[in-house]
Each structure stands twice: as structure tokens, then as C-alpha cells.
Amino acid sequence: MDSNYILRLEMGKMICNKMRTCHSLITVLGMTALVLLMLVSISGTEPFAYITNYDDTASIIDISNGAVTATLPAGFDPFVIFNRLVATTNN
């Protein structure tokens, strides 16, 4: 039996082989890289919201002050929810 695939118990502790340790290290490095990419993408985003309107337009809103910065034509019925996120502000 190859020693790289042995998992044994020694005095109540689980002793892992070097293959499992290598796999764990790769997993941790991959997760760390993913988190760093997410943080970079979040910090680089502009504070804008894109809202569809009933008059076939879409408004770009600066969420830091709530002002509409632009209104763009969006075609017929632009009521698609992007990325499963919906925002509303009730007065």
C-alpha cells in the first residue's frame, strides 16, 4: 500500500498524509485568491444603481446622494432583474 494514501490514528489524533496536506494547501490558496479578487472588484465599483422605469428608459442613480445622473432609452419593457438583486426606496 502506498504511504501517500494512508490515514492513521495516533493517540487519539488524526494524522494526515502529505497528499491531503498538499490538497488542503491548494484549497486554502485558491480560496484566498478568490477572496482577494472579490475585494478588488467590490472596491473598484462605482456607487451607481441602474433602475428601469415604466416609460421604457433606465436611470443611472448616484447612490451616494440619490441623484439621477442620466436617463437612457432601454427599449420595450426593460423590466429585467439583473443578478437577482432588486432595490427600492419608499418615501
- Shared domain for 88 and 50, answered yes or no, is yes
Range of the domain at 28: 3-43
- Shared domain for 73 and 32, answered yes or no, is no
C-alpha cell at 63: 447612490
- Shared domain for 52 and 83, answered yes or no, is yes
Q: pLDDT tens digits, the chain, 91 residues: what are they?
A: 444 444 554 555 555 555 556 667 677 777 887 777 777 665 556 678 888 787 878 888 888 888 999 988 877 766 655 555 555 554 4
Four-point Cα dihedral 91, 64, 80, 38, nearest 10: -140
- Shared domain for 17 and 34, answered yes or no, is yes
The tally of domains found in the chain comes to 2
Rounded CA separation 68/75 (Å): 19
- Shared domain for 39 and 64, answered yes or no, is no
- Shared domain for 50 and 80, answered yes or no, is yes
- Shared domain for 35 and 68, answered yes or no, is no
